[in-house]
Structure 1
Amino acid sequence: MYKITLVDKISFILVLAGAINWGLIGLFSINLITILVGGSVLFQRLLYTLISIAAIDLIVLIFKCNPFKLTT
């Protein structure tokens, strides 16, 4: 069994924030990231990059915690 680290927990939070942001964009045309960081394009790109890295971390976590993995 794989132990979930602090980085994995932060990744969960970031990916959930990204999913909520996409839901708000789709439903109400409200970009939460723009509201949070203001008009700073640099900070927006930094936050979007962190969210995408967090998603990659969660994909890796899925493969580390694979319960159907066959061992010999």
Structure 2
Amino acid sequence: MKTLDIIALTLVIIGAINWGLIGFFGFDLVASLFGEMSAFSRVVYALVGIAGLYSLSFFGKRTESPRT
């Protein structure tokens, strides 16, 4: 995996965990850590969104399976 793929996947996982916390418990982890719509929390949300869009390209990638 390329470094950019790993970073994007990590950000998507962070976003998924945050949305899960919002959905199940009404708790926004990013907002509680960095402030309600502070400049840094907006950057985090933007990076997660960009990572999600970039991760769409994973659907078009082929993986090689090991030959037996």
Cα distance between partner residues in 2 of 1:10 and 1:28: 27
Residue in structure 2 matched with residue 70 of structure 1 by the alignment = none
TM-score by length of 2: 0.80
Tell me the number of residue pairs that the alignment of Structure 1 and Structure 2 aligns.
Answer: 63
Runs of 4+ in structure 1 deviating by more than 6 angstroms, as ranges, are none
Cα distance between partner residues in 2 of 1:52 and 1:66: 23
How many percent of aligned residue pairs carry the same amino acid? 37
Q: Deviations over 1:3-35 (max 9, x none)?
A: x21111011111011011011011111100012
Residue in structure 2 matched with residue 8 of structure 1 by the alignment = 5
* Aligned partner of 1:34 among 31, 35, 42: 31
* Aligned partner of 1:23 among 12, 15, 20: 20
Q: Deviations over 1:25-56 (max 9, x none)?
A: 11111100012213452111111100011011
Residue in structure 1 matched with residue 43 of structure 2 by the alignment = 46
Which runs of no fewer than 5 residues in structure 1 stay unpaired? 68-72
Cα distance between partner residues in 2 of 1:48 and 1:14: 9
